[in-house]
Homo-oligomer: A and B are copies of this chain.
Amino acid sequence: MRQAGRSLPEYKAVRGTGHILEAISQPERVVEITLQPIRRYGVDAAILYSDIMVPLHAIGFGVDIVPGIGPVIAEPFTGKADLDRIRDLDAEGDTPYVIEAVRHLVEELTIPLIGFAGAPFTLAAYLIEGGPSKNYAKTKSLMYSQPELWHQLADRLADLSLASLRSQILAGASAVQLFDSWAGALSIADYEHFVMPASRKIFEGLKDLEVPRLHFGVVTGELLTSMSEAGADVVGVDWRVSLGDARKRVGDKAIQGNLDPAVCLAPYEVVQQHADRVFAEAATSPNGHIFNLGHGVLPETNPDTLARLVDYVHAHPIGNS
Decide if A13 is an interface residue (CB 8 Å cutoff): no
Contact A300 B240 (CB under 8 A): no
Q: Which of A205-240 contact B (CB under 8 A)?
A: 219, 221-223, 239-240
Q: Which of A166-209 contact B (CB under 8 A)?
A: 184-190
* A239-B187, A240-B184 known; A141 vs B221 contact (CB < 8 Å): no
- Residues of the B chain whose Cβ atoms lie less than 8 Å from the Cβ of A300: 137
Contact A262 B222 (CB under 8 A): no
State A188–B186 Cα separation when bound (angstroms): 21
Q: Which of A267-319 contact B (CB under 8 A)?
A: 267, 270, 277, 295, 298, 300
- Residues of the B chain whose Cβ atoms lie less than 8 Å from the Cβ of A8: none
Contact of A266 among B141, B185, B239, B242 (CB under 8 A): B141
Interface string of A239-266 (1 = CB under 8 A from B): 1111001000000000000001111011
- Residues of the B chain whose Cβ atoms lie less than 8 Å from the Cβ of A245: 222
* A186-B240, A240-B222, A298-B135 known; A141 vs B265 contact (CB < 8 Å): yes
State A187–B242 Cα separation when bound (angstroms): 8
A residues bordering B, Cβ < 8 Å? 135-137, 140-141, 144-145, 184-190, 219, 221-223, 239-242, 245, 260-263, 265-267, 270, 277, 295, 298, 300
Can you list 25 contacts pairing A with B, beta carbon distance less than 8 Å?
A: A135-B261, A135-B262, A135-B298, A136-B262, A137-B262, A137-B265, A137-B298, A140-B260, A140-B266, A141-B262, A141-B265, A141-B266, A144-B262, A145-B265, A145-B267, A186-B240, A187-B240, A187-B260, A188-B240, A190-B260, A219-B219, A219-B240, A221-B221, A221-B240, A222-B241
